Homo-oligomer: A and B are copies of this chain.
């Protein structure tokens, strides 16, 4: 796969950076459905320029988030050495959940992407998916995780908790929900 790309012209590169910066701001303020026209306006750029650099909203989101996602995939690799498989998995899931709760609306986008190979986010997401699947295997093998649960179920569940934490007034919501789900709702 050749990722070779001609160097951008100076003005193009400048606009690209400005757009990314405003996108970050806008997503943080209004969630992942923020107005693209406003992002362009704030970046001092025409709407056409935004669409040239980022043909779809997803492409923009992907660029804003890629670094974090790559970090999350790396974290999965490192956690493979952890002495406690179940704790490692749980820790990774919490981290992932926090990433996906970063912007309002992101969990939904993420879940949809997991089924859509054509999405620009697909590659990043599946790098993580592969990473975590090893963590899951290890947790099952260690006897810490029930054997009948699949990676995909786990990821959907996690994004659901992420989604839920958006709609909770308290901010320590996600960790609590993950604990709840790992331990189960039955009395011990």
Complex A-B, nearest 10 residue pairs according to Cβ-Cβ distance, in ascending order: A184-B184, A160-B164, A160-B160, A111-B167, A182-B185, A146-B187, A183-B184, A156-B164, A143-B187, A181-B181
Is A169 among interface residues, defined by CB-CB distance under 8 A? yes
Q: Chain A contact residues: over half helix, strand or loop, or mixed? A: helix
Distance of A155 from chain B, by nearest CB (Å)? 10
Distance of A66 from chain B, by nearest CB (Å)? 22
Is A24 among interface residues, defined by CB-CB distance under 8 A? no
The answer to whether B167 touches A156, judged by C-beta atoms less than 8 angstroms apart, is yes
Count copies of this chain in the complex.
2
24 of the cross-chain contacts (CB-CB < 8 Å) are A111-B167, A112-B167, A115-B169, A140-B187, A146-B185, A146-B186, A146-B187, A147-B187, A149-B180, A149-B185, A153-B176, A153-B180, A154-B185, A156-B164, A156-B168, A157-B180, A159-B164, A160-B160, A163-B163, A181-B185, A182-B185, A183-B184, A184-B184, A184-B185
Which residues from chain A sit less than 8 Å from chain B, CB to CB? Answer: 86, 108, 111-112, 115, 140, 143-147, 149, 153-154, 156-157, 159-161, 163-164, 167-169, 176-177, 180-188
Which one of B143, B145, B160, B177 contacts A185 once the chains associate, using CB atoms below 8 Å?
B145
Distance of A163 from chain B, by nearest CB (Å)? 6
Which one of B145, B159, B169, B185 contacts A187 once the chains associate, using CB atoms below 8 Å?
B145
Q: Which residues of B contact A112 (CB under 8 A)?
A: 167
Closest residue of B by beta carbon distance from A153: B180
CA of A167 to CA of B115, assembled, Å: 9
